[in-house]
Amino acid sequence: MRVTVLPAQAHREVPQNTDVSDVSRRRFIAGTGSLLGAAALGAGSVLGGPLGGPLSGRAHAAAPRSAARRVLADGDSVPVLVIGTGYGGSVAALRLAEAGVDVHMAEMGQSWDTPGPDGNVFANTTEPDYRSFWLRTRTKQPLSNFLGFPLDKDVPLHTGILDAEDFAGITVYQGRGVGGGSLVNGGMAVTPRRENFPSVLPSVDANEMYSVYYPRANSGLGTADVDPAWWESADCYQYARVGRKHAERSGFPFVFVPNVYDWAYMKQEAEGSVPRSALAGEVLYGNNHGKKTLRQTYLARAEATGRVTVSPLHRVTDVRPAEGGGYTVSLDQLTSTGTVAATKTVTAARVFFAAGSVGTSKLLTRLKATGALPRLNSEIGKGWGDNGNVMCGRANHMWDPTGKLQSAMPTAGIDNWSAGGAFAEVAPLPTGIETYASFYLSITRTPHRAAFTWNAAANRVDLDWQRSWKQTSIDAARTIFDKINAKEGTIYRTDLFGANKIWGDHLTYHPLGGAVLDQATDNYGRLHGHSGLYVIDGALIPGCATVNPFVTITALAERNIERIITADLRR
Q: Which residues are catalytic?
A: 425, 510
Query: Residue 438 or residue 508: which is nearer to ligand FAE going by CB?
Result: 508
Instruction: Say if residues 151 and 499 touch (Cβ distance below 8 Å).
Output: no
Q: Among 179-187, 234-242, 246-254, 411-419, which window interacts with ligand FAE (CB under 6 A)?
A: 179-187
Q: Among 14-22, 80-88, 153-161, 558-566, which window interacts with ligand FAE (CB under 6 A)?
A: 80-88
415 binds ligand FAE per the rule CB under 6 A: no
Coil vs helix vs strand at 540? helix
**Shortest Cβ 155–ligand FAE spacing (Å):** 17
553 binds ligand FAE per the rule CB under 6 A: yes
**Shortest Cβ 6–ligand FAE spacing (Å):** 25
Query: Residue 67 or residue 164: which is nearer to ligand FAE going by CB?
Result: 164
Q: Spell out where 417-504 has E strands.
A: 422-427, 437-444, 452-455, 460-463, 491-492
Residues in 464-493 that interact with ligand FAE by CB under 6 A = none
Q: Among 65-73, 338-346, 457-465, 548-556, which window interacts with ligand FAE (CB under 6 A)?
A: 548-556
Contact pick of 44, 53, 79, 86 for ligand FAE (by CB under 6 A): 86
Site pattern 308..347 for ligand FAE (x: CB under 6 A): -------xx-------------------------------
What's the CA gap between 71 and 68, in Å, rounded?
A: 9
What's the CA gap between 323 and 325, in Å, rounded?
A: 6
What does 485-505 look like in DSSP terms, one character per residue?
A: HHHHT-EE--SSSSTT---B-
Coil vs helix vs strand at 330? strand
Coil vs helix vs strand at 430? coil
By CB under 6 A, the count of residues binding ligand FAE is 38
Distances (CA, A) of 396 to 401, 433, 438, 481, 488: 7, 15, 7, 12, 8
Contact pick of 112, 173, 213, 298 for ligand FAE (by CB under 6 A): 173
355 binds ligand FAE per the rule CB under 6 A: yes
Q: Give bridge partners of residue 78 from the DSSP assignment.
A: 348
357 binds ligand FAE per the rule CB under 6 A: yes
Contact pick of 25, 158, 176, 366 for ligand FAE (by CB under 6 A): 176
Query: Residue 141 or residue 402: which is nearer to ligand FAE going by CB?
Result: 141
Contacts of 319 (CB under 8 A, 6+ apart): 327, 328, 329, 330, 351, 363, 367, 372, 373, 533
Contact pick of 57, 88, 243, 421 for ligand FAE (by CB under 6 A): 88
**Shortest Cβ 70–ligand FAE spacing (Å):** 17
348 binds ligand FAE per the rule CB under 6 A: no
* AA identity, residue 378: S
What's the CA gap between 162 and 82, in Å, rounded?
A: 21
Q: Among 119-127, 184-192, 471-479, 521-529, which window interacts with ligand FAE (CB under 6 A)?
A: 184-192
DSSP assigned state of 261: B
**Shortest Cβ 386–ligand FAE spacing (Å):** 11
What's the CA gap between 383 and 511, in Å, rounded?
A: 11
Contact pick of 92, 101, 188, 427 for ligand FAE (by CB under 6 A): 188
31 binds ligand FAE per the rule CB under 6 A: no
Burial class from Cβ neighbours inside 10 Å (0-12, 13-18, 19+) for residue 218 reads buried
Query: Residue 231 or residue 509: which is nearer to ligand FAE going by CB?
Result: 509
Query: Residue 56 or residue 360: which is nearer to ligand FAE going by CB?
Result: 360
Contacts of 331 (CB under 8 A, 6+ apart): 72, 106, 311, 314, 315, 316, 317, 343, 344, 345, 346
What's the CA gap between 422 and 177, in Å, rounded?
A: 31
* AA identity, residue 526: R
Query: Residue 112 or residue 231: which is nearer to ligand FAE going by CB?
Result: 112
543 binds ligand FAE per the rule CB under 6 A: no
Query: Residue 63 or residue 189: which is nearer to ligand FAE going by CB?
Result: 189
Burial class from Cβ neighbours inside 10 Å (0-12, 13-18, 19+) for residue 259 reads buried
**Shortest Cβ 511–ligand FAE spacing (Å):** 7
Residues that bind ligand FAE (CB under 6 A): 83-88, 106-109, 173-176, 180-181, 184-188, 284, 315-316, 354-357, 359, 363, 509-510, 537-538, 548-550, 553
